[in-house]
Amino acid sequence: MGAKLVLSSVEEGVWRLFSYLSSKGKALYNDVPMQVVGRVGRIEVGLFVGPRYALLSVRCSGCGCEEVAEEFQSVVGVIGASLELIRAEASEELGADAVRCSSVLEELGIKLVREVRIAPNDMPLEVIHGGVRIPGVGEVAVVISGYAGAELYRLSVAITSPPRFSPRLLAREACNILSELRKLLKESECSKRAEALQRAKDLGLHDRHR
């Protein structure tokens, strides 16, 4: 047996929501708006639960597609690290050997594109990062989707066939991702301020205000 997971109040709340809706067979993408776990700037981390899969969703809205895309590049790295944690802890907890998918796009892509849609106007989901397959649990992959006609992008951890997958792990990942995003955004803001100050110095504006 793996070590007992210690959950924060937020994680416990997400876990209870996940467990309840899973038992009722609710599909949040049809029945209820996304349950937002937390926000960091323009980025929201939330949870969808369906009878055959669950989504831990990270979505970002903004006025510039390029800027949003840049932020997502950072988020992909965070999610990738989270997948490794999920793989290791699920193996320990379930006693199953978690293995990497040889080709996630080939093994998961078709299924996800056909089955996972958050709303009728969603674009098909596309696998953009590697993933893992956990025997007896399901497949885990990182996918991206966007609303047609709107500058809203969503990065998701999709878990198919999750009945035996511990929702506690998913709840904890939401909080881990929020924590990492806060660090990334703080570093980004510091970097932008430094660049602006350097540009001002280069233009001689900094000294003029002294």
Q: What is the tens place of the pLDDT at every residue in 173-202?
A: 555 555 655 565 566 566 667 777 777 777
Do the domain assignments include residue 190? no
Do the domain assignments include residue 135? yes
pTM score of the predicted model = 0.35
Do the domain assignments include residue 33? yes
Do the domain assignments include residue 112? yes
What's the rounded Cα separation, in Å, for the pair 125 and 86? 21
Query: Which of 158, 163, 141, 161 shows the shortest CA–CA distance to 52?
Result: 161
Residue 150, classed as helix, strand or coil, is: coil
User: How is the beta sheet containing 152-160 ordered, strand by strand?
Assistant: 35-40, 43-49, 53-61, 152-160, 138-146, 126-134, 99-100
User: Who wins on pLDDT, 84 or 115?
Assistant: 84
Do the domain assignments include residue 23? yes
Q: Is the pLDDT of residue 56 over 50?
A: yes
Do the domain assignments include residue 67? yes
What's the rounded Cα separation, in Å, for the pair 40 and 71? 12
129 pairs with which residues across the strands? 142
Do the domain assignments include residue 202? no
Most confident of 11-25, 34-48, 159-173: 34-48
Domain range for 131 is: 9-184
Query: Which of 170, 181, 162, 120 shows the shortest CA–CA distance to 145?
Result: 120
DSSP 67-130: HHHHHHHHHHHHHHHHHHHHHHHHHHHHT---EE-S-HIIIIIHHHHHH--SSTTBPPPEEEEE
Do the domain assignments include residue 196? no
> Domain tally for the chain?
1
